[in-house]
Amino acid sequence: MSDPTRIPMYHPEEIEPRWQKRWDADGLYEADIDPDKEKFYALTMLPYPSGDLHIGHWYAMTPSDARARFKRMQGYNVMFPMGFDAFGLPAENAAIQRSIHPKEWTYSNIDNMRRQLRSMGAMFDWRREAISADPEYYKWTQWFFNQFFNNDLAYQKEAPVDFCPHCNTTLAREQVQGEDRHCERCGTPVIKKDLRQWFFRITNYADELLDFSEMDWPDQVQTLQTNWINRSEGASVIFTTEGGDELEVFTTRPDTLWGATFMVLAPEHPLVQKLTTAEQVEAVAEYQDQAKRMGDIQRESADREKTGVFTGGYAINPVNDERIPIWIADYVLMSYGTGAIMAVPSHDQRDFEFARKYDLPIIVVIQPADIDPIVADDMTEAIPAKGAMVNSGPLTGTPGDEAFDKAVAFLEERGVGKRAVNYRLRDWLISRQRYWGAPIPIIHCEKCGAVPVPDEDLPVLLPDDVAWRPTGESPLKLHPTWRHTTCPKCGGKAERETDTMDTFMCSSWYHLRYLSPHYSEGPFDPEEYNYWMPVDIYTGGIEHATMHLIYTRFFHKALRDLGITRGKEPMLQLRNQGMVLGEDNEKMSKSRGNVISPDELVAEYGADTVRAYLMFFARWELGAPWNSSGIEGSARWLRKVWYLFLEPADHAGTASKDVIKDLRRKVHQTLKSVTHDFETFSFNTIVSGLMELLNEMTTAKAEGAFGTDAWQEAESIYLRMMAPVSPHIAEELWMKAGYDYSIHTQPWPEVDEAATKEEELTLIVQVNGKLRDRLTVPVGIGEAEAKAASLESENVASFLEGKTPKKVIYVPGRLVNIVV
Partner RNA sequence: GGGGCAGUGGCGGAAUGGCAGACGCAACGGACUUAAAAUCCGUCGGUGGUAACACCGUGUGGGUUCGACUCCCACCUGCCCUACCA
The span from the CA of 738 to the CA of 436, in Å, is: 53
Closer of 303 and 740 to RNA (Cβ): 303
Tell me if 304 contacts RNA by CB under 7 A: yes
Least distance to RNA from the beta carbon of 655, Å?
17
Question: With contact defined as beta carbons under 8 Å apart, do 339 and 265 qualify?
Answer: yes
Q: Which residues lie below 8 Å from residue 484, measured CB to CB, with a gap of 6+?
A: 493, 495, 496
Residue 597 DSSP symbol: P
Question: With contact defined as beta carbons under 8 Å apart, do 533 and 565 qualify?
Answer: yes
The contact mask relative to RNA for 118-157 (x = CB under 7 A, - = no) is: ----------------------------------------
Question: With contact defined as beta carbons under 8 Å apart, do 775 and 754 qualify?
Answer: no
The span from the CA of 223 to the CA of 250, in Å, is: 24
Least distance to RNA from the beta carbon of 698, Å?
7
CA-wise closest residue to 551 among 144, 160, 165, 90? 144
According to CB under 7 A, which one of 306, 496, 544, 556 is a site residue for RNA?
306
Closer of 122 and 260 to RNA (Cβ): 260
Least distance to RNA from the beta carbon of 192, Å?
12
Alpha helices in 74-128 (DSSP H): 89-98, 102-119
According to CB under 7 A, which one of 52, 300, 402, 713 is a site residue for RNA?
300
Tell me if 691 contacts RNA by CB under 7 A: yes
According to CB under 7 A, which one of 201, 356, 419, 424 is a site residue for RNA?
424
According to CB under 7 A, which one of 630, 737, 741, 797 is a site residue for RNA?
630
According to CB under 7 A, which one of 414, 447, 636, 651 is a site residue for RNA?
636
Phi/psi of residue 502, nearest 5 degrees: -50, 135
**Contact region with RNA (CB under 7 A), list: 45-53, 116-124, 294-302, 500-508:** 294-302
Binding to RNA, residues 702-731 (CB under 7 A)? none
Question: With contact defined as beta carbons under 8 Å apart, do 132 and 49 qualify?
Answer: no
Helix (H) or strand (E) holding 312: strand 308-316
**Contact region with RNA (CB under 7 A), list: 55-63, 203-211, 515-523, 633-641:** 633-641
Tell me if 814 contacts RNA by CB under 7 A: yes
Using alpha carbons only, give the angle 390, 395, 400 rounded to the nearest 5 degrees: 65
Residue 17, classed as helix, strand or coil, is helix
Tell me if 220 contacts RNA by CB under 7 A: yes
Least distance to RNA from the beta carbon of 335, Å?
7
**Contact region with RNA (CB under 7 A), list: 45-53, 57-65, 195-203, 300-308:** 300-308
Pairing of strands 77-79, 39-44: parallel
Binding to RNA, residues 519-548 (CB under 7 A)? 546
Least distance to RNA from the beta carbon of 343, Å?
8
Closer of 31 and 221 to RNA (Cβ): 221
Closer of 193 and 619 to RNA (Cβ): 619
Closer of 136 and 583 to RNA (Cβ): 583
Residue 548, classed as helix, strand or coil, is helix
The span from the CA of 517 to the CA of 506, in Å, is: 13
Least distance to RNA from the beta carbon of 547, Å?
9
Binding to RNA, residues 237-266 (CB under 7 A)? 250-253, 266
Least distance to RNA from the beta carbon of 381, Å?
12
Tell me if 762 contacts RNA by CB under 7 A: yes
Closer of 292 and 479 to RNA (Cβ): 292
According to CB under 7 A, which one of 146, 204, 335, 573 is a site residue for RNA?
335
Q: Which residues lie below 8 Å from residue 198, measured CB to CB, with a gap of 6+?
A: 154, 155, 156, 429, 430, 431, 440, 442, 497, 499
Tell me if 273 contacts RNA by CB under 7 A: no
Binding to RNA, residues 763-792 (CB under 7 A)? 764, 766, 768-772, 774
Tell me if 332 contacts RNA by CB under 7 A: yes
Q: Which residues lie below 8 Å from residue 273, measured CB to CB, with a gap of 6+?
A: none
CA-wise closest residue to 392 among 405, 379, 407? 407
Binding to RNA, residues 169-198 (CB under 7 A)? 177-179
Residue 436, classed as helix, strand or coil, is coil
CA-wise closest residue to 31 among 46, 21, 42, 22? 42
Cross-strand bridge partners of residue 774: 764
**Contact region with RNA (CB under 7 A), list: 101-109, 144-152, 365-373, 807-815:** 807-815
According to CB under 7 A, which one of 695, 757, 783, 803 is a site residue for RNA?
695
Tell me if 204 contacts RNA by CB under 7 A: no
The span from the CA of 278 to the CA of 647, in Å, is: 98
* Other CB atoms within 10 Å distance of the CB of residue 325: 18
Q: Give the 3-state secondary structure of 338-403.
A: CCEEEECCCCCHHHHHHHHHHCCCCCCCEECCCCCCCCHHHCCCCCCCCCEECCCHHHCCCCHHHH
Amino acid at residue number 663: L
Closer of 115 and 636 to RNA (Cβ): 636
Closer of 498 and 682 to RNA (Cβ): 682
Least distance to RNA from the beta carbon of 622, Å?
5
DSSP of 732-744: HHHHHTTPPS-GG
Residue 85, classed as helix, strand or coil, is coil
Closer of 547 and 564 to RNA (Cβ): 547
Least distance to RNA from the beta carbon of 672, Å?
13
Residue 486, classed as helix, strand or coil, is strand
Closer of 458 and 751 to RNA (Cβ): 751
Tell me if 685 contacts RNA by CB under 7 A: yes
According to CB under 7 A, which one of 336, 358, 519, 741 is a site residue for RNA?
336
Least distance to RNA from the beta carbon of 630, Å?
4
Amino acid at residue number 639: R
Closer of 146 and 795 to RNA (Cβ): 795
Cis peptide preceding 742, ω within 30 of 0? yes
Closer of 371 and 622 to RNA (Cβ): 622
Tell me if 269 contacts RNA by CB under 7 A: no
According to CB under 7 A, which one of 47, 49, 318, 339 is a site residue for RNA?
339
Binding to RNA, residues 637-666 (CB under 7 A)? 637, 639-640
Least distance to RNA from the beta carbon of 66, Å?
16
CA-wise closest residue to 582 among 568, 597, 595? 595
Number of residues that bind RNA (CB under 7 A): 87
Tell me if 819 contacts RNA by CB under 7 A: yes
The span from the CA of 687 to the CA of 608, in Å, is: 12
The span from the CA of 777 to the CA of 781, in Å, is: 7
Closer of 639 and 672 to RNA (Cβ): 639
Question: With contact defined as beta carbons under 8 Å apart, do 500 and 437 qualify?
Answer: yes
Binding to RNA, residues 570-629 (CB under 7 A)? 616-619, 622-625, 627, 629
Closer of 369 and 771 to RNA (Cβ): 771
